[in-house]
Amino acid sequence: MDKVKAFFILLALMLSFIACDKRKPFIVVKDPDKTVDKDSCGHLNFHYEKQEGCDGQIYPDPSTSEYILPFRKGESYLTGLTNCSSSYHAPDKPDRYAFDFNLSEGNEFIAARGGVVAKVVEDQSSEGGGAGNYLVINHLDGTYAYYLHSPKKGIYVKKGQTVQQGDVLGIVGRSGLAGYPHLHFIVVKGSYAWPYHSIPITFRNTLPADVIIKEHTLYMACNE
């Protein structure tokens, strides 16, 4: 009888631990090198099988992707919400293929892909509702990337400017609909006007080498 009791107590403890873990707040990793093994960058092994997103669109093969993670090589950050998760990233929302990267307030973010700056909004309050401060880059193939939540005057580039992949674009903040500082990144197709049509994308330099970036997971930007 005691053994049975002990088993149930243990089970209850385990379940409460799991439940607590799910409620953990977003954590910014200050010393990322400790948790992602940089050496694994040399042989990124993507298991690509034409994975589908929540609306049936196919993810492109990461090994030939046009995109790198929108933060500096060697850095790593946790994701918040990612594709087809919840809230604004839910499967029925225009932002279903968005990624939240939990860079700290003031950290610089970079161009995941080159193009021409199509729009810059940087005169909004550093904290507040609406879209907040953001920029849009035209990739010149009918797709556009959005980078959202910068603080007021937190964007380094101007409309019409050509940017190369890896160029620093601005700093991360929490303007607009952001509950905490992070970069909300999304690629859309056809037009960047709301409500846009977002598309699934992959990153060719991500470690772990996931085809579909998971939520609440630590990712490092590898050298290519």
Tokens at 179, concatenated: 């509950």
Our finding on whether 139 is near Zn ion (CB under 5 A) is no
d(CA 19, CA 145): 36
174 versus 222: smaller Cβ distance to Zn ion: 174
Contacts of 58 (CB under 8 A, 6+ apart): 50, 51, 52, 200
Our finding on whether 181 is near Zn ion (CB under 5 A) is no
41 versus 145: smaller Cβ distance to Zn ion: 145
**Residue choice 96, 113, 184, 204 for contact with Zn ion (CB under 5 A):** 184
Sign of CA dihedral 36, 42, 43, 47: positive
Buried b (16+ CB within 10 A) or exposed e, 105-121: bebbbbbbbebebbebb
**Residue choice 75, 100, 122, 210 for contact with Zn ion (CB under 5 A):** 100
| Nearest approach, Cβ of residue 20 and Zn ion (Å) | 24
102 versus 202: smaller Cβ distance to Zn ion: 102
| Nearest approach, Cβ of residue 87 and Zn ion (Å) | 8
69 versus 222: smaller Cβ distance to Zn ion: 69
| Residues 146/148/153/206 CA torsion (nearest 10 deg) | -80
Our finding on whether 75 is near Zn ion (CB under 5 A) is no
- Positions touching Zn ion (CB under 5 A) are 98, 100, 184
